[in-house]
Amino acid sequence: MPEIREPSPATAATVIGPGIAAAPVDDRTLVEHVPPEFADLPAKLASWRTSSTRSGEPRFVLRGRLGAGSQGIVFAVADNDCRRDVALKTLHHDQRDRALSRFVHEAQITAQLEHPGIVPVHDFGILDDGTVFYTMKRIAGDSLADLLERGSSGRHELLQLFVRICQTIAFAHHHGVIHRDLKPRNIMVGTYGEVLVLDWGLAKILGHENGPRPVPQVDTIRSDQGRDETIAGFAVGTPAYMSPEQALGELDRVDGRADIYALGVILYELLAGRSPYVRGDVRRTLEQAATGQWTPIDRQPGCRGLPRRLVAIVHQAMALDPAARYGDADALASDITGFVIGSSVSAYRESPLESLARWLGNHRRPVASAALALLASIAVGTAWWGFEIHRRGVQLLDARHEAQRAELASDLDHARRSYERVLDLVPRDADAQHGLDRVVRGLALRAVEQTRSQAAVWRERARLAEQDGRLKDAIAALHGALAVLPSVEDSDALAHLLLRQDTIEAQRTSAQRMREAGVLLQEAERSAQGGHGREAQERLDQARGLCAEHPDLARCERLVQDALVHEREGSASALLERARASQGAAVDLEASISTGRTEVDGLLLDLVEAGTQEIRARLHRAEQRQALLRDQRENALADAVSLLHQAYALAPDFLPVRRALADFFIARLVEAEADGHRAEAAAAEAQARIFDDGANASLLAGEAEVSNIGATSIRLRPLVEQENRTDAASGNGFKIDPRASARVPHGRYIMSSDSGSVVACRLERGSTRELSLPIPPALPAMTAFIPAGIVYGQDGRQLASVASFALAVHEVTCGEYLEFLNDPETLKQFDRSLSEGRLHFAPRSSFDAAEPDWRRKTALRSGGGDFVLESPGRSARRAIAADAPVSGIDFEDAQTYAAWRARRDGIPWRLPTRCEWQLAAQGGDGRTYPWGMSADLGHCRSSTTVALHADFVAGSFPVDRSVQGVMDLAGSLSEFVSDAAPADGRRRLLMGGNYHDSRPERYACLSQREVDARWVHPGCGMRLAFTPR
């Protein structure tokens, strides 16, 4: 029996083989173990379909693995219904989604193209877990590439193989299918000379060829997706065998002539033994294929003497222009056949001389013999005729005698040949015919006896082999008996032995897998103890795939899990450090943004007042810096949360990671609430609750814990914005007795005591605050007590702590200032400064005004009369209200007035500091305007309301009232404070807005502007403060 080789690895993915009656394939060359990912395939295949001929047994039984490719894997399978071995092909699990369409497409095309040169497909199915497979004939052999590498085939034999390849491709083209990936590795030559074209996964359906008789249309799953599914611009196939149009990605031009080009390359390699291209990397090969830069075959070593007709065939098949190639594979096969038999070929046009030389070369022997035969026939004709008659008579007599002697000697084979020779000489010889029939019947009887004898010998060999425990030999002997003389008894005995063999093999395999799994588990434990968790997991998975019942598996799983946790926590810690660095950068950037915001706000106000190009340029640069800082901060926060989530993905139960995520989102929650972004705050709170371990329960509850450390009870009433867009206390709130504590919702509150003190406060979520309200000291009338508190910036940061102080409810009025102005000492100083050429103390329209805005009783400028509250001039004098706020004074006038009042009243009156003024305006909770958080110029004396209140007096706008009852801090007049400008000590600060301002931010609690110390303006005034003793 001839040896049958298993296929090479290149063709293993589509290996097929003979049926039972043919020579058996040596399954010892198969891979013993099924890959781990297919460990459950035998069981699922067995449960998929039961055998129709063997009760209780599956239709298919997995034998082993034949081979694998990048996308698919092929197994050897026993078909119990048909009693044959087949090949089963399926996809790797990670390729199911990506390559499923191509896999089904390949199976359907291969099944529909029924041709001796294409592998027959037997069955197609889908297992319960979604595994798709198909079965096909299993054939042994080698790929054409392997034959070329060995160089064992002659040129004539290779050309005959090539013709059969062309005939197969012509059949596919005739059915509207092009292969698109022809190469020696995809062509298989079977042990018995079969030539098969494999791997139709890249095939494309173009449609029918027009012919005299219609052929069945090939239809696959991709037909429903459109015939132009392939995307233009992408090369499809193997670069070294691509046509130029394939290499260029012009797939809309690809038709059957692309396969002709690939056949040309294969023919080139058959003849030259090498590729037509200078092989290097893929890009270089594609470039040569796309531009037709290949070496002509007659320039290759060993091919310089190649016949011109064969050279022309190769070059036409590999023409750069598809129109210049063969129109179909039949034409190419016809030319090769013509060359082999010495005929002309369509690819090469011969000269008359070449045609004559070819004819003579094909008929050299007949031409020479013809002349000699003509002469000899005349000479010997007569003699031969007589001799032939005599010779035939002698032969007939000898044959008769030989047949009779052989029959008598029971040499029936010799007798049959002798009788047949007699009948050749005398076809109708009755005696010879009767003798031949007699001998044939004897041979038949002898053959039956020999068959039975041979079967008995095979059975005896099987019995002895089974007794000795040599099951394989016993099975082979029973196969021999069945091949000689089939019988039910031998078939049953063979099935019994095969079952025993399978059981023993299964036990041996199980033991082997148990041993291999034990080795892998030991390696996994060593890796786990060395801190290599992922490596240990790989070994553990391999061991589980080999033997899921190994006794050491559970213990090893615990060790590996601990190692993985430790390894992941280490990686998570490194990510946490990087996240903290990003968060630190964000904090630094936020500080820079806050500083820049103050600069931008100041420049915006300067732009309103001055509007110079220099201020615009500075404002533009400041805004650009702010935008850049905000972007950098957002990027830093995005990096931080991305790193934190990566750490969480690695170690979701690692406490430091969860706490870091909770802290991050709590910080975003506090930030969003401070900015008034409710949706962002809600989202951040939801995330913080996911990761919090209880450490921030109070903060997430939205409560603050407050303690009354004072001597009197306090009451907290929440602030709520009213319909007029002002904030007011709502409800009874919470009463907290001395030395008592309470938990209250976070927010802004009005805090008051029974002694009359009142202040606004903000309670942050999760904070702990100690609160107290002092007993107000005795104060002069129209003076408000401002308890100690905090001044807050626009971003909610604490700017300054301020001690308790008293502040006048109203700005200094004209009536009050008139008393100072008419004081004899004041008048004396006024006259002195007037004699020096400047106005001092008296209200005026500007710092360099020539006369005051108030009239003096005397008409002589050098005289000494009192001032009166009237406008100067002899006609159309206008009365000035005594309770209107005084304006038109400079900083020195305000300081002098405060000192005069202190001397007169015995109270340490002074100008308030900037922080005192801001605390009084904010009331203690950092509000934007004295009445609340909303801008509304209708609530105060502003550019919007000045026309409606021409006769303005102090306190005319009851809404422009602070928490402690101080009036007109937002509007009316901008007020001098005692502080110098931070950047220039020679300049002074004005706080709040005045009725000349049109921008809402000018009326905010933190609004300030820098002016020259001598600055005089109708919108500038003053207010007095003092510190109670």
Instruction: Confirm if 33 and 513 have CB atoms less than 8 A apart.
Output: yes
Q: For residue 990, which phi and psi values (nearest 5 degrees)?
A: -115, 135
Question: Residue 283: pLDDT band by 50, 70, 90 thresholds?
Answer: confident
pLDDT in tens, 590-643: 889 888 887 887 787 677 666 788 889 998 999 999 999 999 999 999 999 899
Extract the tokens encoding 744: 């209250």
d(CA 814, CA 809): 15
What's the whole-model pTM score? 0.48
Q: Are 831 and 962 contained in the same domain?
A: yes
Question: Which of 224-238, 393-407, 892-906 shows the lowest mean pLDDT across its residues?
Answer: 224-238
Q: What DSSP line would sit under 599-647, residue for residue?
A: HHHHHHHHHHHT--HHHHHHHHHHHHHHHHHHHHHHHHHHHHHHHHHHH
Kindly state the average pLDDT of the residues 485-499: 84
pLDDT in tens, 566-594: 888 888 889 999 999 999 999 999 889 88
Question: Which of 297-301, 860-864, 954-958 shows the lowest mean pLDDT across its residues?
Answer: 860-864
Q: Are 302 and 420 contained in the same domain?
A: no
pLDDT exceeds 60 at position 859: no
Question: Residue 452: pLDDT band by 50, 70, 90 thresholds?
Answer: confident
Residue 832 lies in a domain: yes
Residue 837 lies in a domain: yes
> CATH number, domain at 99?
3.30.200.20
Calculate what percentage of the chain has a pLDDT beyond 90.
45
Q: Are 695 and 842 contained in the same domain?
A: no
Instruction: Confirm if 802 and 923 have CB atoms less than 8 A apart.
Output: no
Range of the domain at 74: 29-138
Domain boundary among 332, 349, 366: 349
Calculate what percentage of the chain has a pLDDT beyond 70.
89
Q: Are 659 and 687 contained in the same domain?
A: yes
d(CA 645, CA 575): 9
pLDDT in tens, 321-378: 999 999 999 999 999 999 988 888 998 887 665 665 565 556 556 655 554 655 556 5
pLDDT exceeds 90 at position 436: no
* pLDDT score, position 384: 60
Question: Residue 9: pLDDT band by 50, 70, 90 thresholds?
Answer: very low
pLDDT in tens, 833-851: 888 888 889 999 988 888 8
d(CA 828, CA 841): 11
Give the 3-state secondary structure percentages of the chain, helix then strand then coil, rounded to 5: 50, 15, 35
Residue 214 lies in a domain: no
Extract the tokens encoding 1004: 């905010």
Question: Residue 415: pLDDT band by 50, 70, 90 thresholds?
Answer: confident
User: Cα Rg for the chain, rounded, in angstroms?
Assistant: 55
Residue 113 lies in a domain: yes
Q: Are 312 and 376 contained in the same domain?
A: no
d(CA 810, CA 845): 22
* pLDDT score, position 894: 97
Q: Are 361 and 394 contained in the same domain?
A: yes
Say which residue, 944 or 895, is predicted with more confidence: 895
Q: What DSSP line would sit under 724-776, residue for residue?
A: TS-EEE-S--EEE-TT-EEEEESEEEEEEETTS-EEEEEE-TT-EEEE--PPP
Instruction: Confirm if 462 and 478 have CB atoms less than 8 A apart.
Output: yes
> CATH number, domain at 912?
3.90.1580.10
pLDDT in tens, 970-1009: 999 999 999 999 888 889 999 999 998 888 999 999 999 9
Rounding to the nearest 10 degrees, give the CA dihedral for residues 841, 847, 849, 850.
60
* pLDDT score, position 363: 55
d(CA 407, CA 401): 10
Residue 789 lies in a domain: no
CA count, 13 A, side-chain hemisphere, 138: 32
Question: Residue 14: pLDDT band by 50, 70, 90 thresholds?
Answer: very low
Question: Which of 66-75, 100-109, 366-375 shows the lowest mean pLDDT across its residues?
Answer: 366-375
Question: Residue 27: pLDDT band by 50, 70, 90 thresholds?
Answer: very low
Instruction: Confirm if 309 and 361 have CB atoms less than 8 A apart.
Output: no
Instruction: Confirm if 633 and 593 have CB atoms less than 8 A apart.
Output: yes
pLDDT in tens, 148-170: 999 888 888 999 999 999 999 99
Paired with 727 in beta bridges are 721
pLDDT in tens, 385-402: 666 667 777 778 888 878
Q: Is 101 exposed, middle or buried (0-12, 13-18, 19+ CB in 10 A)?
A: middle
pLDDT in tens, 30-60: 445 678 888 889 999 988 998 988 888 999 9
Q: Are 692 and 833 contained in the same domain?
A: no
Residue 415 lies in a domain: yes
d(CA 213, CA 607): 91
* pLDDT score, position 738: 93
Residue 640 lies in a domain: no
Q: Are 159 and 271 contained in the same domain?
A: yes
Extract the tokens encoding 830: 């006024």
Say which residue, 108 or 425, is predicted with more confidence: 108
pLDDT exceeds 70 at position 810: yes
pLDDT in tens, 237-248: 889 999 999 998
Domain boundary among 349, 374, 404: 349
* pLDDT score, position 17: 31
CB neighbourhood size of 835 (10 A): 10
Kindly state the average pLDDT of the residues 1004-1015: 92
Question: Which of 10-24, 799-813, 817-831 shows the lowest mean pLDDT across its residues?
Answer: 10-24
Strands, DSSP E only, in 446-579?
A: none
Domain boundary among 756, 775, 794: 775
d(CA 790, CA 653): 41
Q: How many domains does the chain have?
A: 6
pLDDT in tens, 711-761: 899 999 999 999 999 999 998 999 999 999 999 998 899 999 988 899 999
Question: Residue 486: pLDDT band by 50, 70, 90 thresholds?
Answer: confident
d(CA 449, CA 455): 10
pLDDT exceeds 70 at position 26: no
Q: Are 248 and 338 contained in the same domain?
A: yes
CA count, 13 A, side-chain hemisphere, 703: 10
pLDDT exceeds 50 at position 12: no
Question: Residue 216: pLDDT band by 50, 70, 90 thresholds?
Answer: low
Q: Are 71 and 168 contained in the same domain?
A: no
pLDDT exceeds 50 at position 103: yes
Average pLDDT, the chain: 85
Q: For residue 868, which phi and psi values (nearest 5 degrees)?
A: -125, 160
Q: Are 741 and 817 contained in the same domain?
A: no
Residue 733 lies in a domain: yes
Paired with 138 in beta bridges are 17
Q: Are 754 and 690 contained in the same domain?
A: no
